[in-house]
């Protein structure tokens, strides 16, 4: 898989067919042969229905793949998937293949992962993404990339099927994670701020639908207020808002932000305050709820309806 033309008829393996992995795999079937693996049989069945070839193990899925797209939860899961003694895929990858890391796992250890893969003749493309499941299925993701140019060219046909905005931020694996860390600082703070503002509006007896409209029309408006605001209002309904991004993802991501800031010797008091709200929400049993439910860490109940 060395050129765009060759790769269009190549094979990509998608490991992790969860909320993001499955729509990405489905999208990739529009231009590539796609292998899939997930530990949950139900996700494999859904993938098969979408045109993805299901495999019984990660090693089987990647054996003849030109590219491998990883949708993992954290750095520990990444290391296990790649290098575990009996199940790690690194030893099963063909020399010249490329591994595309789409998850937000932080910068720690990424350079070491790239070195270990290089020992197998495999490149690492650090390509964390944003956009959610619907945009993943439509090929409308924002992807930021840190990778050596030759590795990026191998991965580009896969990335271009998934991204409407593809930004190369550096030529080192880890550069993508660094920018995504900055991105998540802002996203986490903006969601928490939107929730806090709407909780205050409710406490003051304001009509929340009108409040949202007014705020979005002025200087206080933001993407997260407009996107999460309506879901914040649904957070108090039975069952809460539809889960498009879990609250515990921001527990993880704001933890990555704090760790990176401390390593850089930088104070991030606003991000730290937002992180506490997500931790409170998780302690309240809201980890699997939509991240808009962070409003309930501020105000467990609505005061006015």
* 159, two tokens: 């990335």
- The catalytic residue among 154, 180, 252, 259 is 180
- Identify whether 180 is a catalytic site residue: yes
- Distance, in Å, from the CA atom of 4 to the CA atom of 39, rounded to the nearest integer, reads 31
Write a three-state SS string for the chain: CCCHHHHCCCEEEEECCCCCHHHHHHHHCCCCEEEEECCCHHHHHHHHHCCCEECCCHHHHHCCCCEEEECCCCHHHHHHHHHCCCCCCHHHCCCCCEEEECCCCCCCCHHHHHHHHHCCCCEEEECCEECHHHHHHHCCEEEEEECCHHHHHHHHHHHHHHEEEEEEEECCCCHHHHHHHHHHHHHHHHHHHHHHHHHHHHHCCCCHHHHHHHHHCCCCCCHHHHHHHHHHHHCCCCCCCCCCCEHHHHHHHHHHHHHHHHHCCCCCHHHHHHHHHHHHHHHCCCCCCEHHHHHHHHCCCCCCC
Q: Kindly report the backbone phi and psi dihedral angles of residue 143, in degrees, each rounded to the nearest multiple of 5, phi listed first.
A: -125, 130
Listed residue (5, 12, 1, 10) closest to 162, CA to CA: 12
Residues tagged active-site: 180
């Amino acid at each position: 898989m060395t050129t765009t033309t060759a790769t269009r008829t190549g094979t990509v393996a998608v490991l992790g067919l969860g909320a993001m992995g499955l729509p990405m795999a489905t999208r990739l079937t529009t231009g590539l042969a796609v292998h899939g693996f997930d530990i949950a049989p139900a996700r494999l069945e859904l993938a098969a229905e979408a045109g993805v070839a299901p495999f019984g193990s990660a090693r089987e899925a990647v054996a003849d793949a030109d590219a491998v797209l990883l949708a993992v939860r954290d750095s520990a899961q990444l290391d296990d998937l790649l290098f575990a003694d009996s199940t790690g895929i690194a030893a099963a990858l063909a020399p010249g293949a490329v591994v595309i890391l789409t998850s937000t796992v932080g910068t720690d250890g990424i350079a070491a992962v790239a070195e270990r893969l290089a020992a197998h003749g495999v490149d690492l493309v650090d390509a964390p993404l944003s956009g959610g499941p619907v945009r993943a299925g439509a090929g409308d993701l924002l992807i930021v990339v840190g990778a050596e140019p030759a590795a990026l060219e191998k991965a580009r046909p896969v990335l271009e099927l998934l991204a409407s905005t593809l930004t190369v931020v550096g030529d080192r694996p880890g550069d993508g994670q660094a920018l995504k860390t900055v991105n998540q600082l802002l996203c986490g703070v903006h969601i928490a701020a939107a929730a806090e503002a709407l909780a205050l509006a409710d406490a003051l007896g304001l009509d929340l639908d009108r409040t949202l409209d007014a705020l979005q029309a002025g200087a206080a408006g933001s993407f997260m207020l407009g996107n999460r605001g309506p879901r914040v209002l649904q957070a108090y309904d039975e069952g809460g808002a539809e889960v498009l991004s879990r609250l515990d993802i921001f527990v993880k991501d704001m933890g990555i932000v704090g760790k990176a800031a401390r390593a850089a010797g930088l104070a991030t008091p606003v991000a730290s305050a937002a992180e506490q709200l997500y931790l409170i929400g998780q302690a309240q049993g809201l980890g699997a709820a939509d991240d808009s439910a962070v409003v309930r860490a501020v105000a467990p109940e609505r005061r006015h309806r």
